Structure 1
Amino acid sequence: MSGIGTPPEHHGVPSPAPAPSFDPELDVVIAALGEAAREPITPANLRARQERDAAARPRPTAEELRADGRFEVTEFRVPGPPEGPDVMLVSARPSGLAGPLPLLYYMHGGAMIMGNAWSVLPRILREWALPLDLAVISVEYRLAPGTRYPGPLEDCHAGLVWAAGHAAELGIDPARIVIGGKSAGGGLAAALALLARDRGGPAALGQLLLSPMLDDRGCTFSGHQMSGHDVWDLTSNETAWKALLGDRHGAADLPPYAAPARATDLSGLPPAYIDTGSAEMFRDENVGYANAIWQAGGQAELHVWPGACHGFDGLAPHAALTRDAGHARTRWLRRLLAKPAP
């Protein structure tokens, strides 16, 4: 089995092909963003962009997340990785549900350099926790470049170990834990699945990978094809990966836990849901990851949404494409959670 870790021949060659067009509803939204909003992130402006993101991104309080009593919300500060600080976990579940619930253990997006555990929860609670009777834990992992690899991933692993070990206290079913995330969080979820496999647990029932950020090398066909068209480009991507990896960026011996597209052995992983856009940079690394899972004999459900850019559902939450993607993700979660635990 040839893994995704070996770049195909077209890697490193800029794409001469025209970019796929955006979905009409997304095209309007992207045009309205303006050039300033799409300015690439560089080492020179990284700190300013982080400060701007922190000021602009809503961070609801625990009381706001409770939504007038619809949800039970608790913040836990739990032991972090060896020689690391404690990790903050934000736990939320629909109110009044008895018995152990399945858990979505979630990593937020933000290219490893931005974002927080709180801002992603309102939508997750509305779209998944309520209809699926699902508990959610969102992880506040440390960000780069303040903390480089493996710090953010080890934070996520420490939180997962704690959650699985305190399942009775949390009211969750340790046999039905789904790890997931979007963009950088999707990359962390994929890396966490690999790490948990190789460390012997905690076992996950599935992995929900939404446009995951998987490959530090920046040399896929779609990366070059869509850079300058997608809302995320090669310059920003390289800046984020260098912030995370430092001098190890692009190294031939980089471990797959740092960039899961480097993995050559994807056997023994939990079933994956992977979705991406036809008009986003991460398209080829996402499709390649699903293909490598299939080649290893694993299960993966892949969706490539036509005309979708990176993060399309957040940019256009009411678009038809966003609704279709949301329904597909929810159906996969419902099927997965309905299966008897292995």
Structure 2
Amino acid sequence: MSTMRLVSFLMRSLFMGMVAAIFLFLFFPDLLAPVISNEEKSPPELVTTYSDVIEQVADSVVNIRKFNIAEQNRFQNRATLSITGGSGVIVSATGYIVTNYHVIAGAEELTIELNDGRATIAEVVGFDAASDLAVLKINLDNLSFLPMQAELPVTAGDVVFAVGYPFGVGQVATMGIVSGMGKNFRVAEYEDYILTDSLSISGNSGGPLVSAKGELLGIVSSRLSTSGYSFAISTDLAMDIVEQIVANGRVVRGWLGFEGAPVDKTARDKYGESSYVVIGITEAGPADKAGMMPEDIIVSIEGNPIETAISLRKRIASYKPGSTVQMGVIRNEVAITLSLVVQERPTSINIPPATLNR
């Protein structure tokens, strides 16, 4: 009997619980909603200032004043002094400064003005017109600097700042986001640009492009900025060039003595995406001596496929003069391998174009 009463009690309790649950669900649904913590409801913190970033890099950015004496002509009684300017960034505690070559080209004297008020004359260590980069040197103590680092992560949408000295009004920082990386515009022979929508102002050329963490991402080159976008030479490209200039006063690049272009769609379908057609050869150059011919299809270099024409040029430039490079070539549907001895890239190159039948 006691067992029956226990079962009856449990059934009544279960029934009452179900009735209570249905009542709450119908008339008080909010009580059954999941509890959301205050942390989940809070919106992400809004960044309203990057003043700490600008303060962090400000003393590393310099104003460059270029002095030139204009030649006297028959309409003038005396020569005139021309003063133009640009920006630069100190990259070492020993006073090395990186800027654009076009900022300092033709200068008779260069004065460096620091953000802390000091000024001094700069020595030109060397330059590389092919990439539009130059290295200067100043002899001052207690210098702030932004070190050059390879392979810093840069992604479209990242916040960046261009810092420089436009219009002679003092240091100015403009903010934008990264729009693209690895861009090439054929304005220099060796290019690797970061494209941003930060405001480009005359005089910013040679200044740094920095990340929201204050890292040096590139060297601004505003000569490309008639579109309103800013272009910066990536640190990945600049770093090797600067190191060579500091060590040797110039840049040494490998050279194989041919010119080429990507193949058309028909040839890509036939020979693969990583193929490159030879369109010109320098007489007595490495390619000529190795037996390369116009219309040869290059499909590999040192056993590696060719990703783009730009990447091929960079790879060739990285080879040391005197080394031997194996190139996979298709000629008249036959695969052959050519051995080319790398030479140092000459300052002027004459490559007669070939007449292609493709």
Place the TM-score, normalised by the shorter chain, in its bin. Answer: under 0.3
User: Greater helix percent: which structure?
Assistant: 1
Question: Which structure has more RCO (C-alpha within 8 Å, separation ≥ 6)?
Answer: 1
Relative to the length of structure 2, the TM-score reads 0.22
Larger of the two Rg values belongs to structure:
2
Relative to the length of structure 1, the TM-score reads 0.23
